[in-house]
Amino acid sequence: MNRNLGEYSFVLSLVLAIVIISTASVFIRLLQAEGISSLLIAHGRMACAFFLLLPLVFIFRRNEIQRVGIAIIGVTVISGIILGLHFIFWIESLLYISIAESTALVTTSPAWVTLFSFILLKESVNYRNILGVIISGLGGLFLFNTGVSDGDSSQAIQGYLFASGGAILMAVYLILARAVKNKIQLFEYVFLTYGFASLSLSVLLFSSSDKLSGFIFTQEVLLIFFLLALGPQVVGHTIIISITRKVSATLVSLAIVCEPIGAAVLGYMFFCERVGGVHLMSFILLIFGVFLASKN
């Protein structure tokens, strides 16, 4: 009985996390409608998330942070830079393609993790993993071919490349996080990574010539930044990462591939973005391929 309740609680937590994470694209679209650049949105998201965690670290985890070694801090610096770049690429893709297309491509990161782990790290993979990578690749090719066939092909291809770049960057981030999972606690790793992501994006922001172009600090904009950081970043991603340490990778993989579905539904509800037949076939291949590629 207790075991069943525990499993149900994990499933409900995953559903909650996916619903929350799926709202990120809606918040980002609202910020883009205000003329805010991808760099500034990424910076605002990570900076707000860092400062939301800061009081908790100061009160409860200050000693643990001070005990983190230099080598691990170095990994979190690299992870933070990569995470910041991931959000720039993904957010930029939303300027060119639909929420459904962008999210379907950016959530192929587990397939990229499998591919990189096999080629670069010489890790063993099973036939399901290899088949998943191939199927995801076919789904991506179908999607790119659809963009080429459309009237404004250059814009679509640009969006697909940004989203795919975001997926690759997230895959590298996940590999680094996995490499140090036994050397640093989850909370400390997340806090330091968010901090260095915010710092690296600050450097890019203040070195860019149009860093505040079109940006207005209205109450609505500040509220959207706050919700973007609190919901999808702090709550949603933290639930996903914490649950990966407690349940099977299959269940978590299934949750990850459900994110494009939730995002597509929200894209239709808020922005009337429809999914065509060819796009739907591409999404099915991408989602099924990712599930297989990340299945142990």
52-64 pLDDT, tens digit per residue, is: 999 999 898 889 9
The C-alpha atoms of residue 285 and residue 296 are separated, in whole angstroms, by: 19
- Classify residue 8: in a domain, yes or no: no
Q: Given pLDDT bands bounded at 50, 70 and 90, which one contains residue 265? A: confident
Between 237-244 and 186-207, two packed helices, what is the crossing angle to 10 degrees? 140
If DSSP codes are grouped into helix, strand and coil, which group holds residue 145? helix
How far are the Cα atoms of 26, 89, 100, 202, 266 from residue 269, in angstroms, in the given order?
10, 24, 12, 34, 5
Write down the pLDDT at residue 122. Answer: 73
**Burial class of residue 55, CB neighbours in 10 A (0-12, 13-18, 19+):** exposed
Q: Which residues fall within 8 angstroms of residue 177, CB to CB, at 6 or more apart? A: 79, 189, 193, 241
Report pTM: 0.88
Other CB atoms within a 10 A radius of the CB of residue 262 amount to: 18
Q: Cβ–Cβ contacts within 10 Å for residue 7, how many?
A: 12
Query: What is the tally of structural domains in the chain?
Result: 1
* Tokens describing residue 28: 């980002």
Q: Which of 97, 27, 18, 15 is nearest to 260 (CA)?
A: 18
Amino acid, single-letter form, for residue 257 = V
pLDDT tens per residue, range 6-26? 556 666 777 788 888 889 999
Question: Highest mean pLDDT: which of 99-108, 190-199, 264-273, 276-285?
Answer: 190-199
235 found inside a domain: yes
Report which residue type is found at 189: Y
Range of the domain at 185: 21-293
pLDDT for residue 192 is more than 70: yes
What pLDDT is recorded for position 208?
79
Residue 10 lies in a domain: no
**Distance between CA atoms of residues 94 and 80, nearest Å:** 22
3-state secondary structure of 155: helix
CA distance 172 to 80: 11
Is residue 232 within 8 A of residue 49, CB to CB? The reply is no
138-158 mean pLDDT: 73
Residue 247 lies in a domain: yes
